[in-house]
Amino acid sequence: MILEVAILDIKPELNADFELAFNDAQSIISSLHGYISHQLQKCIEKDNRYILLVNWQALEDHTQGFRASPEYQQWKAKLHHFYQPFPEVEHYSLVMENTNNVGNC
Amino acid sequence: MILEVAILDIKPELNADFELAFNDAQSIISSLHGYISHQLQKCIEKDNRYILLVNWQALEDHTQGFRASPEYQQWKAKLHHFYQPFPEVEHYSLVMENTNNVGNC
């Protein structure tokens, strides 16, 4: 499993529009081969910043499958105009974790 | 629930030492009030980069509880000397997510 990480800085005054657009766009990635799960989270310290975390089965499911798909053009049309600057996307693989307390809070 | 996000750039040649030290240090945060779960993930594109994701019940569990605790001094002694530059830590709150496929892959 691979974690896609994108820190998204949104143009001033467009947070609400971006959240609406993302809510609409998220079904695009959810339907793709290799997609596992995603979260959009909003930064507490910087008002126009979000982080997108997407779990994919394999790196290529994102870098090749998604980016070469017709769905990517829809995703781009719905979301890319909100970003300033355009985000750098990175991928990560799990080293270690502790999820023992999840569900106990 | 709050997500702490820290992108950790490790001094050259010290990845293996850092991973050993983190493996040792992670029990420090796991025992603290408000801690829920954490993941350490390694960047695929940048060899000396990691991301630390920690879920806390509340922002203050990290920014006040942990950082004012004696345990923070132990954490710092075990880990801070690996970082270059010293990381900026941000906190995020969930906007939306889809975890329907988790467990199906």
Calculate how close chain B gets to A48, using CA atoms only, in Å: 12
Confidence of residue A103 (pLDDT cuts 50, 70, 90): low
- In this prediction, residues B85-103 reach a mean pLDDT of 90
Confidence of residue A66 (pLDDT cuts 50, 70, 90): very high
Nearest residue in B to A46, CA atom? B90
Q: Considering only the top CATH level, what class is B2-93?
A: alpha beta
Optimal mutation site among A39, A55, A56, interface B, most CBs of chain B within 10 A: A39
Mark which residues 30-69 of A lie under 8 Å from B by CB.
30, 35-46, 49-51, 53, 55, 57, 59
Is there a contact between B57 and A105 if contact means CB atoms under 8 Å apart? yes
Alpha carbon B57 to chain centroid distance?
15
Mind listing the pLDDT tens digit for each residue in B51-74?
A: 999 999 999 999 999 999 999 999
Sign, Cα dihedral of A30, B91, A9, A1: negative
Quote the pLDDT of residue B100: 73
ipTM topping 0.85: yes
The yes-or-no verdict on residue B104 having pLDDT over 60 is no
Strand partners, B68: none
Helices (H), chain B: 15-30, 59-60, 70-79
One CATH from 3.40.50.300, 3.40.50.720, 3.30.70.100, 3.90.1150.10 for A2-87: 3.30.70.100
Q: How far is CA B92 from CA A50, B3, B4, B73, in A?
A: 8, 5, 6, 24
Quote the pLDDT of residue A99: 86
Quote the pLDDT of residue A105: 45
- In this prediction, residues A56-78 reach a mean pLDDT of 95
Q: What is the amino acid identity at position A39?
A: Q
* CA gap A105, B63 in Å, rounded: 19
> Domain residue spans in chain A?
2-87
- The verdict on B90 touching A (C-beta cutoff 8 Å) is yes
Question: What is the value of pTM for the model shown?
Answer: 0.94
Strand partners, B28: none
- In this prediction, residues B32-37 reach a mean pLDDT of 95
Quote the pLDDT of residue B105: 45
Q: Provide the percentage of residues in chain B whose pLDDT is more than 70.
A: 96
- In this prediction, residues A38-64 reach a mean pLDDT of 97
